[in-house]
Structure 1
Amino acid sequence: MQKCFLSIIIFFLIFSYGTGYISAKEHQDGEKKEEQIELTKYSQSAILLERDTGKIMYEKGANDKLPPASMTKIMTLILIMEALDKGTIELEEKVSISEYAASMGGSQIFLEAGEKMTVKDLLKGVAVASGNDASVALAERIAGSEEAFVKMMNEKARELNLENTHFENPTGLPAENHYSTAYDMAIMARELLKHEEITSYTSIYEDYLRKGTEDEFWLVNTNKLVKFYDGVDGLKTGYTTKAKYCLTATAERNDMRVIAVVMGADTTKKRNSDVTKMLDYAFNQYETKKLFERNQAVSKLDLLKANKKGVKVVTGDSVSLLHKKGEKLKDIQTNVQLNENIELPLAKGDQVGILSVVQNGKTLSKTPLVVQEDVGMAGFWMLFKETFDDLLKKEY
C-alpha cells in the first residue's frame, strides 16, 4: 500500500451556469421532471444527451426495455476497439472466416467460409454495413467463440452500470432475453466515442471491400444522416420486425458533441425525422464550454516506492459545461482529488483520482483521472539512493 504525497484542489471561477435537464436515473428516483416539448412523436422511446457531461436534454421512455436490433453492435464495437488498444488484434491482421460466421443472415458483407479478411475491413463491415457475419468473425477472433464474446459484452454492460441491458449475441439478431434501453444505448455510445478513431469508420458513407476483385462489395452506410445532416458522423442503425427502426446517432458542431437515440419507429423516414428534430433542438438551444481536453495533464504523481517520479495525471475524458444559449456562467469550481492510497504497479490508463465540477456545493460532473504511463516498483538501489538523498537533505 502506497501513500500518495500529492492531493491538489484546483478551483476555477467561471461565469453563471444553469441546468434545465434531469437524468433518467433522477426521474426514476422521483425528482420532479421539467416540462418539455415533444420532439419524437414517431418513436417508442428516445433520449438526447451531451457527450462530455452526460447531461440529458430530452427523453421519452428512456428506460423502457426494448429489442435494440443492430444497435447491439455498439457494444460489439466497444470490445473491438478495446482489443485494438490492447494489441490483442491489429488492423492489418487477416482473420480466417469460420463457417458459422459466414452463415449469419440479415445484414451482411457476404463473407465465405475460409476467406481471409483484414480486421480493418471487417471493422468497416460492422461500422458501415452492419454486417452480422463481420461481427461474428471479429467476436470469434477476439474471444475464441461467439458465446465467450457475449459473456464479455454482458460483463462490459455491468462495468458501465447498465441495469436494463442484456445481450444474447453480438449482432442484434432476434433472441429471447436480448434487450436494452435508449438510456443504456446512449451510455454505450459515450463509451464507444472515447475511442475517437471510431468515427473515421462510422462516418464513411460508401466504400468497397475486396476492391478490384471479382468479389468486390459495395459498402453503403445504413445511417443516411451521415451524408445528409451536418455534423453527423455515426453511430449505428438497427431494424428487426419486432424492434422496428432504431438509431443511435452522434453529431458534433462548435466543439459540442451530442448523442441521440430513438427506438421503435415505424419507418426509416420517421426514425430520421425524430433524430433530426432532437439534434436541431440540441444545437439551437444549447452550447458547451470546454474546461479540459481528454488526456490533459492536471497534476503529477509522486509515490514513495515508485520507479518514476513526477508521473503526469491526466483527464480520462474531456470535461465541459453544458448550458442554454444566452445564459452566463459563474460560481463554477473544479476539484482535482488524487486517491489517498494508491497501489503499485500502475498501468497506463489506471484511475488514480477524480476531477469534479461543482456549483454552489452541487456536483455537476465527475471525470476519472488516470496515469499517462506505466509505473512500477522501484528497485533496491533506487530506494537506497532516495533514502540516502533524503538523509543528506536533512543533514544540510
Structure 2
Amino acid sequence: MVRKIKKKKSGIRIFVLVLLMVVFAAFAYRSIITPGNHQISEKEYEDETSLNSYIKIIPDSSGDRMTTVPPSKIETDHSVSISLSSNKLNSTNAILIRLKDNTILMQKNSEEKIYPASMTKIMTAIIAIENLPDLNEEIELTHYTFNGLYSADASMAGFKPGERVRAIDLLYGVMLPSGAECCIALADHIAGSEQNFVKLMNQKAVVLGMGNTHFENTTGLHDENHYTTVKDLSILLIYALQKDTFRDIFTSSRHSTQPTNKHPGGITFYSTMFEALGDQDIIGGEILGGKTGYTDEAGLCLASIAKVGNQEYILVTAGAKGSQYSEQFNITDALAVYNSIRK
C-alpha cells in the first residue's frame, strides 16, 4: 500500500514537471514572435520600402515647412532651413524635397488635387524607357499620330507624318520641347494605342503609391479625370531620377536628333525650362533640369531638380497664375525656393 502511494506521488511530480516545461517552452516561443521581432514577409517589405511610405511627414513649428520621419529612421539634418514661407509663393501647390534622404523641407497644399499639364510627360517618359528594349529602334509617326493634336493646341516637337525617328530622339522630344506627337508615337508603338499605354501609367502610379493620381492621356491635355498632387509627382520624380536615361534627358538643355527621312539635318530641341530660365541661376548652386507644364486649368507648373552646395533637391510646383506669354512665375518660384535653402 505504501509503495502504491509513493508511485502515485512520483507520477504527479513527473506530470507537474512536464507541464512546467511545456508552459516555459510556450512562453519562450511567444517572445520570439512578438511584433518587434517577427520576420517581415515579402509583401510587408515591399510596403515598407515603397516611396509613398518612405515620405512620412510631420509639421514643424512654422506650420508650412515639413520634415520627415522615414520608416528606415534616417536622421533628419536639422542644420538645413528654408528662409522662405510657402505663403510667399505664386504657386498654389508646392513641395521641396532633399534627395539624399527624401526629407520634405517645405510644402504647400501638397496633397490637394491638381491638374499636372505637361508634367504628365514624366510618367510617359519613364513608362516608355522601361518598355523599350532598344532605344535606337526607329519608330514611324503616322498620320493617325497627329489626330486631334493641332486642334487641341498641343505643344509639338516638330516631327512630320511618315517620319521615322529613333526612340531615344522621341524621348527627348517628349521632355525638352514637350512634343505631344512624340508621346502618341511612343504609346502606339509600345502598347498599340494611347488608351492601352495609359493603363500602364495608372498601374505604375499604383505600384509607386501615388494614391491620389489618375491619368487619362499621355500628354497632359486637360481632362477632369486627369489629376494628381504635387506630393504624388514628387514620388514619381524621385523614382524616375534613379534611371540614368531619364536623368540624362531631364537634365539636358538641348538635344539634336539623328537625321531622318523627313529632316536630313535632324532637329535640335531646346528645354522649355532652360529657355524660360535664361541666364538666371541660384546662389551657391545650379538648377540641373526640369519639366514645365501649362494649361488654363493647371496654371504654370514645374518639376525640377537643383544642386545647392553638395546636396540635390527636387521641387514640384503647380497652379501659378499667368501663361506661356506672361512672366514665368513657376520659374520665379523655383529660383526663390532654391535660393532660400540655408545650411
TM over 0.5: yes
**Matched AA of 2:136:** E
Q: Distance in 2 between matches of 1:33 and 1:146?
A: 46
**Matched AA of 2:215:** F
**Matched AA of 2:135:** L
**Matched AA of 2:184:** V
* Corresponding residue for residue 339 of structure 2: 280
Gaps of 5+ in 1: 1-6, 8-22, 286-324, 326-396
Q: What do the CA deviations read for 1:362-393 (whole angstroms, capped 9, x no partner)?
A: xxxxxxxxxxxxxxxxxxxxxxxxxxxxxxxx
Q: What do the CA deviations read for 1:28-69 (whole angstroms, capped 9, x no partner)?
A: xxx666434424421111110012322100000001101100
Q: CA deviation at 1:25?
A: 5.5
* Corresponding residue for residue 43 of structure 2: none
Aligned equivalent of 2:145, options 88, 101, 110: 101
Distance 1:128 1:226, change over 3 A: farther
Q: CA deviation at 1:138?
A: 0.9
Distance 1:33 1:26, change over 3 A: farther
Aligned equivalent of 1:232, options 287, 290, 296: 287
* Corresponding residue for residue 318 of structure 2: 263
Q: CA deviation at 1:154?
A: 0.5
Distance 1:126 1:253, change over 3 A: same
Aligned equivalent of 2:159, options 90, 108, 111: 111
Aligned residues, how many?
A: 256
Aligned equivalent of 1:49, options 90, 93, 97: 97
Q: Is the Cα–Cα contact under 8 Å of residues 101 and 133 in structure 1 kept in the other structure?
A: yes
Q: Is the Cα–Cα contact under 8 Å of residues 226 and 234 in structure 1 kept in the other structure?
A: no
Distance 1:190 1:238, change over 3 A: same
* Corresponding residue for residue 124 of structure 1: 172
Q: Distance in 1 between matches of 2:329 and 2:146?
A: 32
2:203 maps to 1:155: yes
Distance 1:227 1:107, change over 3 A: farther
SS in 1 for 2:328: helix
Q: Distance in 1 between matches of 2:265 and 2:226?
A: 34
RMSD: 2.5
Q: Distance in 2 between matches of 1:226 and 1:205?
A: 11
Q: What do the CA deviations read for 1:305-338 (whole angstroms, capped 9, x no partner)?
A: xxxxxxxxxxxxxxxxxxxx3xxxxxxxxxxxxx
* Corresponding residue for residue 335 of structure 1: none
Q: Distance in 1 between matches of 2:247 and 2:304?
A: 11
Alignment of 1:1-396 (within 5 A): 26=57, 34-36=62-64, 37-39=84-86, 40-84=88-132, 87=133, 90-103=134-147, 104-105=149-150, 106-209=154-257, 213=263, 216-224=266-274, 225=277, 228-229=280-281, 230-267=285-322, 268-282=327-341, 285=342, 325=343
**Matched AA of 1:194:** Q
Q: Distance in 1 between matches of 2:63 and 2:233?
A: 24
Q: Which has the higher helix share?
A: 2
TM-score (normalizing by structure 2): 0.68
Q: CA deviation at 1:227?
A: 5.9
Distance 1:221 1:227, change over 3 A: farther
Q: CA deviation at 1:73?
A: 0.6
Q: Distance in 1 between matches of 2:267 and 2:244?
A: 26
Gaps of 5+ in 2: 1-38, 40-53, 65-83
**Matched AA of 2:332:** S
Q: Is the Cα–Cα contact under 8 Å of residues 45 and 262 in structure 1 kept in the other structure?
A: yes
Percent of aligned pairs with the same amino acid: 33
**Matched AA of 1:260:** L
Distance 1:170 1:211, change over 3 A: same
TM-score (normalizing by structure 1): 0.60
Q: Distance in 1 between matches of 2:270 and 2:213?
A: 29
Q: Which has the higher strand share?
A: 1
Distance 1:236 1:116, change over 3 A: same
Q: Distance in 1 between matches of 2:157 and 2:298?
A: 22
Q: CA deviation at 1:184?
A: 0.8
**Matched AA of 1:65:** K
Q: Is the Cα–Cα contact under 8 Å of residues 24 and 62 in structure 1 kept in the other structure?
A: no
SS in 2 for 1:172: coil
Distance 1:112 1:153, change over 3 A: same
Q: CA deviation at 1:177?
A: 0.4
Q: CA deviation at 1:180?
A: 0.8
- Following TM superposition, where does structure 1 have runs of at least 4 consecutive aligned residues deviating by more than 6 angstroms? none
Q: CA deviation at 1:99?
A: 2.3
Q: Distance in 1 between matches of 2:319 and 2:310?
A: 30
